[in-house]
Amino acid sequence: MDSEPKTTHKDFDVEDVLGKLNIDEKISLLSGTDFWHTASVPRLGVPAIRLSDGPNGVRGTKFFNGVPAACLPCGTGLAATWDIELIQKGGHLQGKEAIAKGASVILGPTTNMQRSPLGGRGFESFSEDPVLAGKMTAATIKGIQSTGVGATPKHYVCNDQEDQRMSVNSIITERALREIYLMPFQIAQKDADPWCYMTAYNQVNGTHVSESPRLIGDVLRKEWGFDGMVMSDWFGTYSSTESVKAGLDLEMPGPSYVRGKLINQALGCGKLREYDVDNCVREVLKLVKKVLPLGIPENAPEHTVDSPETAALLRQISSNSIVLMKNDKNVLPFKKEKATAVIGPNADFAAFSGGGSASLLPYYAITPLQGVKDAAKDVKYTLGAPGWKKLPLLTRMSKTKDNKHGLTMNVYLDPPSDKSRECIDTVHVNDSNCFLVDYKHPKLTSFLYYTTFDGEITPSQTAEYEFSLSVAGTAKLYVDGKLLIDNATHQTPGDSFFGTGTRDEISTMKLEKDNTYAVHIDFATLPTITFKVPGTTAFGAGGVRIGCERVIDYKVELDRAVELAKSVDQVILCAGLNSDWESEGYDRTTMHLPPGSDDLIKAITAANPNTAVVIQSGTPVTMPWYHSTPSVLQAWYGGNETGNAIADVLFGDVNPSGKLPLSFPLRNEDNPAFLNYKSERNRALYGEDVYIGYRFYEKAKRDVLAPFGHGLSYTTFEMSDLKLNVDDTAGEMSVTVNVKNTGSHPGAEVIQVYVSQHTPSINRPPKELKGFTKVHLKKGESATATVKLSKKYATSFWDEGRDSWVSEKGKYTVLVGSSSADTPLSGEFEVGKTMWWRGL
């Protein structure tokens, strides 16, 4: 239980406080005190403030047994709305959630680019296009900071892969760095003025970003005019002197491991001056002062703000993110009164978020099956094929001795070999993926301790069952007293727990229907692990993940699904990925769906032509069945309301209006980063240069499964009467288009504006997105859509010879349409004089 909150702190003068701090107090302010808090200076009235993840919801201070929160769709889902106003509302909701969690700063949004479909955190980021990513970032920041909470765009810059993310050197041309990877941050700085930035783990051209005077000092602070605090990613500070001199104000988390005494030593030997330290301390104090009006006390207890209004907004955002990729013969929307089959691995499973620091405990999570059952009358379900990478959690089927859902965790200071050991704490656990990074108890003096987990399972059918155990630490699993898995004596490194833990060890046991079995796990924390993976971060006490599921016979499940599909009027087939496949800590190894999913989709669509395939993933997957499948929806990870949102679109309560924020290639081999996407002995060559996503596919004339910006509707739209109004005095131009809803349903269309230079002096992409707007229209309604552009942003590229932006004299074409591949309207304008520029 949190301690009672302290008195709210009064305002203070930053320079006055800075002048009164002694050197030890100054050094303390350069680092966090724990995982989520800055240091305080009580004698001068400077409170500690709380920071909290993350990009799609505010977790609070606990990975383990945390306070539930509102979960928004993942980053690509948010960007798929192409709706700045709606995303700003989502940011405002996050700000209110942060205040309820006692947090003054949110560690998000994620503003990195998707070089490859395989990026482990691609789902967290917004887009392959820097303008869309920048506008979504700015909207999120505006929403968050409108509540008085600070936002932190991350990870500045080029943290675009998980492979050796702390050591990898991103080797990139200055042009690509400026036009693609820095641009979304630049747009966010120009449009939204964030209060904080978080630096990336990686190096850029030979220097870690967290100690880069050029990227932090020259670009961010001097060129863009950023006047706020820069913090490291967690454990992403690698030096004392270099990081302070570069302008990295805050090392996170605490307690410090590269500052503290080392700063004292650097001051003593002259490597640092007190002036250098003061520059960083000043920014920390300025941030603390800025969030004081929130009135959040130190040690604030965490609360929930679950409400009908929150649910309604989450449902609106999620349903507006869904992309109708294909709808042959108007198969959708389905009729609620018809017999409906719901089939697939993602049907009875709520894939509400990706994994890693974006994950949180949601207030609730609606599965697609539940959403469809709540909407329709006659609904039947079968699995069809498993879709998990790791076995489903044991806690889906376990109960404690007092009949609570989950497991009982007992905590000890001594190992099981000590028969006289005493239990110091008992905790009810409702999630058997236990990451103990922030578990605390007064009797714990180190990260070394021991726990047991106990529960009972009663199978609903007689079958062989698989049990799994992965651990950052050591553990053994017993069923009815029999040792089934030993993940302590011999351990194999894997991708669990941000890459610090083992692979899943799996063992099988036959269980009888209606019999009750006792499951017991002995766990020892991370210091007991028998190996160390270079380049990974050891998070506190580590963790343990326990899974269990009956052994699946793929043919039996497939046959059962086909028979069900034949017996109903319409089929909803839910497949895709989940937080085990897409997560911080590792990249995907393939673009393919899990084994069995493609065969299932082919068989079901052959059995019943009235089939809609719903794919949930944060980044593209291969779809070898796409052209023979009548209807396909891309539903992302939709947050708390994912199942309801999917049902809303399937049955026509919401007309789909989402557009793809990234191209879907036919194969991974087609994507421009294919040959360069991983760390090769600690270096990643950005060989595709500025040709990321659609810029490459269009330049190379390479076919894609679905183009950037694509998305269908249940109605139709007509665009006409393009007009350009160029104001050279203001350096602005406006693009106006008449848009008419020519179909039979109310709906929304995204007007996408691209610009192409006629005769550039260097190679450039055929066209680039420069602006967009979303228009909502009733049946038969018309409206004039206006997109305003900065003329220099719309025309410029980075001139490496002049080390500046250049807007070249000559003609340019404006192309307007509904996707990068469909731009029927065009107009021309001219730049009368070549101009070089820097800054915002």
Indicate which CATH number applies to the domain containing 613: 3.40.50.1700
The reply to whether 117 and 240 lie within a common domain is yes
Does 128 score more than 50 pLDDT? yes
Q: Which one of 550, 577, 598 terminates a domain?
A: 550
Query: Looking at residue 145, what is its pLDDT?
Result: 98
Does 107 map to a domain? Answer: yes
Does 697 map to a domain? Answer: no
The tokens describing 285, both together, are 């104090």
Q: Which of 233, 276, 522, 598 is catalytic?
A: 233
CB 768, CB 695: distance < 8 Å:
yes
Q: Would you place residue 657 in the very low, low, confident or very high pLDDT band (cuts 50, 70, 90)?
A: very high
CB 122, CB 76: distance < 8 Å:
yes
Query: Looking at residue 535, what is its pLDDT?
Result: 66
How far does Cα 736 stand from its chain's mean position? 34
Helix (H) or strand (E) holding 466: strand 463-472
Nearby residues of 99 by Cβ (< 8 Å), 6 or more positions away: 147, 148, 149, 294, 296
Q: Which amino acid is at 234?
A: W
Does 308 map to a domain? Answer: no
Residue 798's SS3 state is strand
Does 537 score more than 80 pLDDT? no
The reply to whether 39 and 183 lie within a common domain is yes
Q: Alpha-carbon distance 382 to 561, whole Å?
A: 6
What φ, ψ does residue 59 adopt, rounded to 5°? -70, -35
The reply to whether 52 and 150 lie within a common domain is yes
Q: Following CA atoms 620, 616, 705, 129 in sequence, which dihedral angle do they give, to the nearest 10 degrees?
A: -50
Residue range 494-534, pLDDT digits in tens = 989 988 999 999 999 999 999 999 999 999 999 999 998 87
How far is CA 58 from each of CA 62, 206, 232, 524, 613, rounded to the nearest angstrom?
10, 34, 19, 29, 31
Beta-bridge partners for 425: 411
Q: Alpha-carbon distance 753 to 771, whole Å?
A: 5
Q: Alpha-carbon distance 370 to 113, whole Å?
A: 34
Nearby residues of 307 by Cβ (< 8 Å), 6 or more positions away: none
Residue range 213-262, pLDDT digits in tens = 999 999 999 999 999 999 999 999 999 999 999 999 999 999 999 999 99
577: DSSP letter: -
Q: Alpha-carbon distance 157 to 821, whole Å?
A: 29
CB 649, CB 633: distance < 8 Å:
yes
- The DSSP result for 489-557, as a single string, is SS--B-STTTTTSBPPEEEEEEE-TT--EEEEEEEE-GGG-S---TT----TT-EEEEEEEEPP-HHHH
The tokens describing 492, both together, are 């194999």
Residue range 70-82, pLDDT digits in tens = 999 999 999 999 9
Does 2 score more than 60 pLDDT? no
Query: Looking at residue 324, what is its pLDDT?
Result: 98
The reply to whether 253 and 151 lie within a common domain is yes
Taking each helix axis as running N to C, give the angle between helix 308-321 and helix 642-650, from 0 to 180 degrees, rounded to the nearest 10. Answer: 60
Domain of 44, CATH number, reads 3.20.20.300
Q: Following CA atoms 349, 662, 145, 161 in sequence, which dihedral angle do they give, to the nearest 10 degrees?
A: 80
The reply to whether 34 and 140 lie within a common domain is yes
Q: Alpha-carbon distance 114 to 4, whole Å?
A: 44
Domain of 488, CATH number, reads 2.60.120.260
Q: Alpha-carbon distance 39 to 21, whole Å?
A: 13
The tokens describing 793, both together, are 């942003």
Tell me the average pLDDT across 748-769.
98
- Of 435-444, 448-457, 614-623, least confident by mean pLDDT is 435-444
Beta-bridge partners for 574: 614
Q: Alpha-carbon distance 780 to 224, whole Å?
A: 45
**Of the candidates 715, 721, 666, 663, which has an alpha carbon nearest to the alpha carbon of residue 693?**
663
What domain range includes position 380? 322-386+553-655
Q: Which amino acid is at 423?
A: C
Q: Which amino acid is at 480?
A: D
Stated length of the chain: 840
Domain of 753, CATH number, reads 2.60.40.10
Nearby residues of 543 by Cβ (< 8 Å), 6 or more positions away: 64, 433, 434, 435, 436, 437, 471, 472, 473, 496, 497, 501, 526
Query: Looking at residue 534, what is its pLDDT?
Result: 76
Q: Alpha-carbon distance 366 to 6, whole Å?
A: 38
Q: Alpha-carbon distance 823 to 289, whole Å?
A: 48
626 exposure class (CB count in 10 Å sphere: 0-12, 13-18, 19+):
middle
Beta strand 105-107 with 51-53 is parallel
The reply to whether 290 and 350 lie within a common domain is no
Query: Looking at residue 3, what is its pLDDT?
Result: 43
Does 798 map to a domain? Answer: yes
User: Secondary structure of 212-264 in the HEC alphabet?
Assistant: CHHHHHHHHHHHCCCCCEEECCCCCCCCCHHHHHHCCCEECCCCCCCCCHHHH
Overall domain count for the chain: 4
Does 313 map to a domain? Answer: no
Q: Which one of 522, 550, 578 terminates a domain?
A: 550
User: What's the mean per-residue pLDDT of the chain?
Assistant: 96
The reply to whether 129 and 258 lie within a common domain is yes
Tell me the average pLDDT across 130-147.
98
Query: Looking at residue 438, what is its pLDDT?
Result: 85
Does 486 map to a domain? Answer: yes
The tokens describing 442, both together, are 């007064």
Q: Alpha-carbon distance 81 to 322, whole Å?
A: 8
Nearby residues of 155 by Cβ (< 8 Å), 6 or more positions away: 110, 111, 112, 198, 199, 200, 201, 233
Tell me the average pLDDT across 726-752.
97
The reply to whether 643 and 786 lie within a common domain is no
Residue range 625-654, pLDDT digits in tens = 999 999 999 999 999 999 999 999 999 999
How far is CA 280 from each of CA 31, 37, 288, 545, rounded to the nearest angstrom?
10, 17, 13, 40
179: DSSP letter: I
Residue 720's SS3 state is strand
What φ, ψ does residue 315 adopt, rounded to 5°? -65, -40
CB 395, CB 623: distance < 8 Å:
no
396: DSSP letter: G
The reply to whether 543 and 573 lie within a common domain is no
How far is CA 100 from each of CA 50, 58, 281, 299, 341, rounded to the nearest angstrom?
12, 9, 27, 12, 40
The reply to whether 375 and 520 lie within a common domain is no
741 exposure class (CB count in 10 Å sphere: 0-12, 13-18, 19+):
buried
Q: What percent of the chain has pLDDT over 90?
A: 96
CB 561, CB 387: distance < 8 Å:
no
Does 301 map to a domain? Answer: no
Q: What is the pTM of this model?
A: 0.96
CB hemisphere CA count around 794 (13 angstroms): 29
The reply to whether 452 and 580 lie within a common domain is no
Q: Which amino acid is at 174?
A: E
The tokens describing 555, both together, are 């043919």
Q: Alpha-carbon distance 546 to 523, whole Å?
A: 11
Q: Alpha-carbon distance 707 to 51, whole Å?
A: 38
The tokens describing 207, both together, are 């220097």
Q: Which one of 493, 526, 550 terminates a domain?
A: 550
Residue 233 appears among annotated catalytic residues = yes
Query: Looking at residue 1, what is its pLDDT?
Result: 37
Tell me the average pLDDT across 753-778.
98
The reply to whether 285 and 418 lie within a common domain is no
Q: What angle do CA 768, 772, 775 make, to 5 degrees?
A: 150
Helix residue ranges per DSSP H, 292-342: 308-321
- Of 312-326, 529-543, 754-768, least confident by mean pLDDT is 529-543
Q: Which amino acid is at 168?
A: V
CB 540, CB 517: distance < 8 Å:
no
Does 5 map to a domain? Answer: no
Residue range 4-63, pLDDT digits in tens = 444 568 999 999 999 999 999 999 999 999 999 999 999 999 999 999 998 999 999 988
Q: Alpha-carbon distance 765 to 757, whole Å?
A: 9
Query: Looking at residue 114, what is its pLDDT?
Result: 95
H helices then E strands: how many in the chain?
17, 38
Q: What is the CA radius of gyration of the chain?
A: 27
